[in-house]
């Protein structure tokens, strides 16, 4: 009885650490769950196949019913936008945000994310210790953060976009296919007259093979002394953040140094 209970608990326990990006935050104000973020259809589970089309907007995120039920938030360049997580980012690993512009004439809700994507935000390590290795800014004291924000670039061209937060759980990433990808797609309409050219761009899937040094990595032993982000450099600053910007608190910027 006792051992079967333990087996049952062990089977159930990992699910508690799973999560979704369920709502969009704009300038500190949270929107409703799946109001501006496409609903996913795999509960809170991660995608583990980096080559799968599910890497775009998660399982179900590109389905017609999910897209039709999702509104598009109109926002100006330079706004602080971000996401609330259901549960918390409960695994060690980096947090990125990718964006992709819908072709002209295609609304965000009709866009399947099959065009070019660029990385607009990266929140990685907050500390590297010679003995214990990597500490993660999204997982301080082994407790995942529940929300974060970043600044939409001032020179972002106007138009409809998908905004795709991605957290990579690296706790089992020592073997190929062991990294857990958590992502979702919000729909926004950017106003203004930004004239930047987001680059470099990538396609999803295809942007990761799953064999990158930042994806196929044993984070426990030997303790890594550096971390190299997979995927393209961040546009426009080519920098990484090392402290999160929680909703409701003044941002300390998107390019902060490690502790």
Ligand X SMILES: *[C@@H]1O[C@H](CO)[C@@H](O)[C@H](O)[C@H]1NC(C)=O
Choosing from 16, 32, 52, 176, the residue that interacts with ligand X (CB under 6 A) is 52
Binding letters toward ligand X, positions 102-131, x by CB under 6 A: ------------------------------
Closest residue by Cα to residue 217 from 164, 174, 167, 161: 174
Choosing from 30, 44, 72, 86, the residue that interacts with ligand X (CB under 6 A) is 30
Rounded CA gap, 172 and 170, in Å?
5
Distance of CA 116 to the CA centre of its chain: 17
What value, to the nearest 5°, has the Cα angle with vertex 176 and ends 171 and 182? 50
Choosing from 37, 123, 134, 145, the residue that interacts with ligand X (CB under 6 A) is 145
Choosing from 147, 180, 245, 251, the residue that interacts with ligand X (CB under 6 A) is 147
Q: Which is nearer to ligand X, 145 or 185 (CB)?
A: 145
In the 3-class helix/strand/coil scheme, how is 179-226 assigned residue by residue? CEEEECCEEEEECCCCCCCCCCCECCCCCCCCCCCCCCCCCCCCCCCC
Q: Is 29 in the site for ligand X (CB under 6 A)?
A: no
Choosing from 84, 187, 229, 245, the residue that interacts with ligand X (CB under 6 A) is 84
Binding letters toward ligand X, positions 167-196, x by CB under 6 A: ------------------------------
**H/E segment holding residue 65:** helix 64-68
- Tell me the closest approach of the beta carbon of residue 122 to ligand X, in angstroms: 19
Q: Is 66 in the site for ligand X (CB under 6 A)?
A: no
Rounded CA gap, 28 and 249, in Å?
8
| CA pseudo-torsion sign 9, 85, 229, 176 | positive
Choosing from 45, 72, 146, 218, the residue that interacts with ligand X (CB under 6 A) is 146
Q: Which is nearer to ligand X, 27 or 154 (CB)?
A: 27
Choosing from 187, 245, 247, 254, the residue that interacts with ligand X (CB under 6 A) is 247
Which stretch, 10-18, 32-40, 206-214, 242-250, contacts ligand X (CB under 6 A)? 242-250
> Residue 8: what are its φ and ψ, rounded to 5°?
-65, -40
If one counts every other C-beta atom within 10 angstroms of the C-beta of residue 113, the result is 24
Residues of this chain that bind ligand X (CB under 6 A): 30, 49, 51-52, 84, 145-147, 246-248
């Amino acid at each position: 009885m006792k051992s079967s209970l333990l087996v049952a608990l062990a089977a159930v326990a990992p699910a508690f650490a799973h999560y979704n990006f369920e709502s969009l935050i704009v300038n500190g104000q949270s929107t409703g769950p799946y109001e501006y973020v496409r609903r996913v259809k795999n509960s809170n589970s991660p995608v583990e196949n980096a080559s799968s089309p599910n890497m775009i907007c998660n399982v179900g995120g590109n389905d017609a019913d999910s897209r039709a039920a999702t509104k598009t938030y109109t926002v100006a360049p330079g706004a602080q936008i971000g996401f609330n997580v259901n549960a918390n980012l409960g695994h060690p690993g980096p947090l990125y945000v990718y964006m992709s512009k819908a072709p002209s004439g295609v609304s965000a809700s009709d866009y399947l994310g099959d065009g070019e994507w660029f990385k607009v935000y990266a929140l990685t390590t907050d500390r590297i210790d010679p003995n214990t290795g990597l500490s993660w800014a999204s997982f301080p004291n082994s407790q995942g953060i529940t929300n974060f924000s970043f600044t939409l670039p001032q020179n972002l061209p106007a138009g409809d976009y998908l905004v795709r937060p991605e957290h990579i759980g690296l706790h089992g990433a020592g073997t190929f296919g062991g990294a857990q990808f958590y992502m979702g797609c919000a729909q926004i309409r950017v106003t203004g007259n930004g004239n930047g050219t987001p680059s470099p761009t990538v396609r999803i899937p295809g942007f990761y093979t799953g064999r990158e040094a930042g994806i196929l990595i044993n984070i426990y032993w030997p303790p890594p002394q550096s971390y190299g982000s997979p995927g393209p450099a961040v546009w426009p600053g080519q920098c990484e953040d090392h402290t999160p910007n929680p909703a409701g608190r003044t941002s300390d910027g998107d390019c902060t140094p490690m502790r």
